[in-house]
Amino acid sequence: MRLPRIYCDASLVVGEAVELAEGPARHLVRVLRLRPGDRAILFNGDGLDYQATLVEASPRRCLARIQAGEDPGTESPLQIRLIQAIGRGERMDWAIQKSVELGVSAIQPLFSERTEVRLDGTRAAKRQAHWQQVAISACEQSGRARVPAVAEPISLKDLTPANHLSLYLHPLARQSPESLAGKIRAHIDLLIGPEGGLSDSEISQLEKLDYTGLRVGPRVLRTETAGPATIAALQSLFGDWR
């Protein structure tokens, strides 16, 4: 039987016991009904999965002793940073969740000219924390032991040149994922525009920053679909899907 995987925001040391936070403890004890002696996998984002055995399991206190740590081998050789224009409602959650499952290494939420969602300082911080939790949950489900960081939202005009391959998705671009053979490096920035698309001035700005336009197939994709679809294509051609 597959062991439950739980994110634990604490230091995990083989041979020592760790007290689980209220949320994970409640899930293990009340939802999964685990008891002392039952096993689970804990991870804290350091790249290892830790085999653990429950030594206390009650609604008030849940302790797990770390037995061993190992690399699950679920990280791609491609380090893809998704720069995602913020979408309405659950669209941003969906884009983050699926991109993490597909192996993205970092996420940069983005405001652009046609972004319909506007967040002030307090709301932006709350959404950033929410999106980080979406990424953590996706790691729990997909078996990843490194958690992609979700950065503070920035405006497109605040982007700076990178010293690695930088791409933006556009339905009229000439380059396709296959045409990137020979240009792929370990680090890639992938920018996905908003529901209304990138403006001409934004495309001009991106090209001044050495971003290359990329087209994925003959159809126009929604903003929440475009990132995961492109990441899947890159993983298939150049990453760990080969």
The single-letter DSSP state of residue 230 is: H
60 pLDDT above the threshold of 90: no
Q: Residue 87 has which token pair?
A: 């979408």
Read off φ and ψ for residue 79, nearest 5 degrees.
-100, 95
- Report the alpha-carbon distance of residue 160 to residue 149 in Å, rounded: 19
Give the confidence band of 88 by pLDDT, cuts at 50, 70, 90: confident
1 pLDDT above the threshold of 70: no
Distances (CA, A) of 153 to 7, 112, 124, 186, 202: 24, 11, 7, 24, 17
- CATH architecture of the domain covering 5-70: Beta Barrel (2.40)
If one compares 180 and 89, the residue with the highest pLDDT of the two is 180
| Residue 161 pLDDT | 87
Mean pLDDT of 115-125: 79
Average pLDDT along the chain: 93
Per-residue burial over 51-76, b = 16 or more CB atoms within 10 Å of its CB, e = otherwise: bbebebbeeeebbbebeebeeeeeeb
Using CA of residue 31, residue 35, residue 37, residue 42, what is the dihedral sign? positive
Using CA of residue 30, residue 35, residue 41, residue 46, what is the dihedral sign? positive
pLDDT one-digit tens code per residue, 76-87: 999 999 999 998
| Residue 214 pLDDT | 96
Q: Residues, the chain, total?
A: 242
The distance in angstroms from the start CA to the end CA of the chain is 28
| Residue 177 pLDDT | 94
| Residue 96 pLDDT | 97
5-70 and 79-238 agree in CATH topology:
no
CATH class of 79-238: alpha beta
Q: Where are the domains of the chain?
A: 5-70, 79-238
Enter the pTM of the model: 0.93
